[in-house]
Structure 1
Amino acid sequence: MVRMSADERRESVIRAAMHEFARGGYYGTSTEAIAKRVGVSQPYLFRLFPNKQAIFLAASERCLKDTREVFAHAAEGLHGEEALHAMAAAYTRLIAEDPDKLQMQLQVYVTVAAAEAAGDHAFGEVVRAGWMELWDTAHLPLGGDEKETTTFMAYGMLINTLAAMGFPPGHRVWEGLYPSARAKGHPEK
């Protein structure tokens, strides 16, 4: 049996945490569930991360980083309308193929709102910084146009909401997002 390094084990914890937090949220997920998914003890988990919030932040940062990488890869060498369509198609594939990414994003937003309401602004600052990196990743290929970037990100949030509510491909609610879907009967992929 090959033993994992601390970095490899940490990576395993982040992946497991994304899955668990995506399903149960910050408050509904126990560190015990994360440790069990990874196959480590809770004390070992806390040798890798100081507390549950640190685990959630690492999972949150990874989720945003993965989305940034999807945007960056899709838009590589493209600009304007071509970049917009490539990033939108890549994001649509990401949330269809890895529903945990979508659920984790939504859990991040809910957790930040709850932390802010409770007066914990540090947590939100970290997540907002990651989200701004996501914004910038989309902003540059869209020609640095504030309106285009705002529209792109707004459509993305609408897609998140509709997908989270379970609207299936082909439902009429997608027609405004994917005009050619009307003819095909489903969102473009």
Structure 2
Amino acid sequence: MSGTDRRAQVLAIAAKEFAEHGLHGASTEAIARAAGITQAYVFRIFGTKKALFLELVQAAFARVSDGMRDAGEGKTGLDALSAMGAQYFDLLADRTGLLLQLQGFAACGDPEVRDVVRSCFARMWDTAEDGTGLEPVTVKTFLAFGMLLNTGAAMDVEQVEADWAEGVRTWIRPELFAHITTEANR
């Protein structure tokens, strides 16, 4: 197997391990065993466990930011926001990527992780704000709704039959965001 293929294989295996167990609970030994390599080889490729985790967290956030940017391309305002929201909703099906983002947030007690996650979140914010041209309070509400979708997907609310779960699953029409403005927020 080429070095590039081996790296991709380890990333795929490690993504599942970190998504399920987080930075501190994930085992590089388990990752190595699943890849059929030594733990030392994992460290040779990525340097440290944290570096491997951070690469995966950054990639998970980048998929979201890139997907939102691509979806909103050529649109502005609520049209862009609606396209970004639809794309984001589709990305929730990537449970591993979703859980990697949440594990990134959970590991923010580590200053290095916190800096990386802040940078990733800033990019997502900038993508939404620059891509729509909407006010910060509207972007904030959009991203807050996205975080609710994240937590709902992490809890697999699609499988829950309860009023609260139905509330989490409720689709928000893009027109609602037209009413969330700085002026309305005073």
Same fold (TM over 0.5): yes
TM range (shorter): 0.7 to 0.9
Which residue among 112, 135, 147 is the counterpart of 1:122? 112
Which residue among 60, 64, 68 is the counterpart of 2:65? 68
Deviates more, 1:162-171 or 1:127-136: 162-171
CA distance, structure 2, for counterparts of residue 71 and residue 162 of structure 1: 20
Go from structure 1 to structure 2 and tell me whether the alpha carbon gap of 1:168 and 1:54 turns closer, same or farther (over 3 Å shift): same
Deviation string, structure 1 residues 117-162 (Cα, Å, up to 9, x no partner)? xxxx222112211221111111111205211211111110011112
Partners of 2:148 and 2:168 within 8 A in 1: no
CA-CA distance at 1:23 after TM superposition: 1.1
In structure 2, the residue matched to 1:108 is 104
Runs (4+) off by over 6 Å = none
Letter in 1 for 2:158: P
Which residue among 114, 119, 126 is the counterpart of 1:136? 126
Query: Please, what TM-score do these two structures have when normalized by structure 2?
Result: 0.82
Unaligned runs of 5+ in 1: 116-120, 181-189
CA-CA distance at 1:163 after TM superposition: 1.8
Unaligned runs of 5+ in 2: 175-186
CA-CA distance at 1:175 after TM superposition: 6.0
CA-CA distance at 1:176 after TM superposition: 4.7
Query: Please, what TM-score do these two structures have when normalized by structure 1?
Result: 0.81
Go from structure 1 to structure 2 and tell me whether the alpha carbon gap of 1:175 and 1:23 turns closer, same or farther (over 3 Å shift): closer
Deviation string, structure 1 residues 80-116 (Cα, Å, up to 9, x no partner)? 11111111111111112x111111111111011x32x
Go from structure 1 to structure 2 and tell me whether the alpha carbon gap of 1:144 and 1:11 turns closer, same or farther (over 3 Å shift): farther
CA-CA distance at 1:37 after TM superposition: 3.0
Identity of aligned residues (%): 36
